Amino acid sequence: MTKKILITTGGSGGHVIPSLSIYDALKDDYEIQISTDLRGSKYINNKNYNYSLIDVPNLFSNLLLFPYNLIRFCVSIVKSYKYLKLNNFNILISTGGYMSLPLCLASNLLNIKIYIFEPNSVLGRANKLMLNFAKKIICYDENLKGISKKQLHKIYLVKPLLRKEIYKYQKNQKTKIAEKKKILIIGGSQGAKFFDEFITKIIIRLSKTQKIQVLQQVINLNSKEIIKKFYQKNYIDHELFDFDDKLLTKAVNYDLAITRSGASTISELGYLNIPFVAIPFPYAKDDHQYYNAEFYEKKKSCWLIMQKEIDEERFKDLMMKIFVDETEYFSKKNNLILLNKENTWEKNKSKLIELLNEN
């Protein structure tokens, strides 16, 4: 009999995108479904994925409403219990987020096997709560932060599980930096104002001595118009975007990325051999963006800069050094290549299936 799997995921792109990769890896071998909330549904194409919406309150979003939200949360556990039982799921895979908690708790009550997926280098709070009930935690970093010694045996290592189409993209094969420096800027949705203002200033300063081409994420429409005018005034070749799920098809021949360090973003950059300067979002929960970037820095495959330590002169000098000192640049690029050498869609798919088929 075919196993039925439910993937439960939180409402951010960092939670949902890995869940879609897991879905694609398992859909040919299992009967599979995703559950998320309204926030998460915007990342899911309903033509390609079988998913359902389950509304779960955030207990700590408003302390005045805590008693009310606690009642709603308990009701969501009951609803989750009925939903799981009605659909006869055998396995639950949680990619984290508070909305996954009721389904994890209900799965434990029903003796449904629970697996946790953690793409970050630090264990998320919801995943940490549920780890006692889980058989394994699927992750990328053997030195996962926030996990107790008695739970280390639950770690199941895989290479970064990327979106399926990423594995089909041509990788960056450049062996020389051209005269025109091509820079990709990914500020993400959180703390994007810093990138809009500070990184834009750096690009303008660099353009005084270097030929620059920029592909830059800008979330705010007002900022987009301001940055566009700055770049036009300084004759900088540029393309601005807010969200583009095909971004890396355009960016694969760019020389360098300046980026936040969400797990999916830097995993995809690394896989495509695009060297990057990571500037972690300083207010990320449990500082997980720092630890994501630190994983690559320890393997000498990226530059890691803390936002609080940045000043214009030092950052401009770093950018100049990266482009002038090609030895260090290509050393980091080669380390990225080695780091991702064994990362293939089929290998990751086989590892997941092997895990789920264990007794």
Do residues 299 and 327 lie in contact, with contact meaning Cβ atoms separated by under 8 Å?
no
Residues 300, 140: Cα–Cα separation, whole Å = 17
Domains identified in the chain and CATH numbers? 4-162+343-356 (3.40.50.2000), 167-339 (3.40.50.2000)
Distances (CA, A) of 114 to 94, 251, 252, 339: 8, 37, 37, 29
Q: Which residues neighbour 323 within 8 Å (Cβ) at sequence distance 6 or greater?
A: 177, 181, 210, 255, 256, 329
What angle (nearest 5°) sits at the alpha carbon of residue 162, between those of residues 37 and 139?
80
Residues 226, 232: Cα–Cα separation, whole Å = 10
**According to the model, what pLDDT value does residue 359 have?**
64
Distances (CA, A) of 319 to 95, 210, 236, 280: 36, 11, 16, 17
pTM of the shown model: 0.90
**According to the model, what pLDDT value does residue 216 have?**
92
Residues 167, 171: Cα–Cα separation, whole Å = 9
Do residues 266 and 259 lie in contact, with contact meaning Cβ atoms separated by under 8 Å?
yes
Residues 118, 202: Cα–Cα separation, whole Å = 34
- Cα torsion angle, 215, 213, 199, 118, sign: positive
Kindly state the tokens that stand for 329.
């640049």
Residues 112, 353: Cα–Cα separation, whole Å = 17
Do residues 120 and 138 lie in contact, with contact meaning Cβ atoms separated by under 8 Å?
no
Kindly state the tokens that stand for 90.
């055998």
Mean pLDDT by runs of 10 across the 359 residues of the chain is 88 84 95 86 80 78 81 89 94 91 94 96 92 95 94 95 91 90 87 87 93 90 90 94 76 93 93 96 89 96 94 92 91 95 95 90
Do residues 147 and 124 lie in contact, with contact meaning Cβ atoms separated by under 8 Å?
no
Residues 279, 260: Cα–Cα separation, whole Å = 5
Residues 32, 18: Cα–Cα separation, whole Å = 15
Could you please report the per-residue DSSP string of 273-328? Answer: T--EEE---TTSGGGHHHHHHHHHHHTT-SEE--GGG--HHHHHHHHHHHHH-HHH
Burial bucket for residue 72 (CB in 10 Å: 0-12, 13-18, 19+): middle
Cβ neighbours of 88 (radius 10 Å): 11
The residue count of the chain comes to 359
Kindly state the tokens that stand for 302.
């990226």
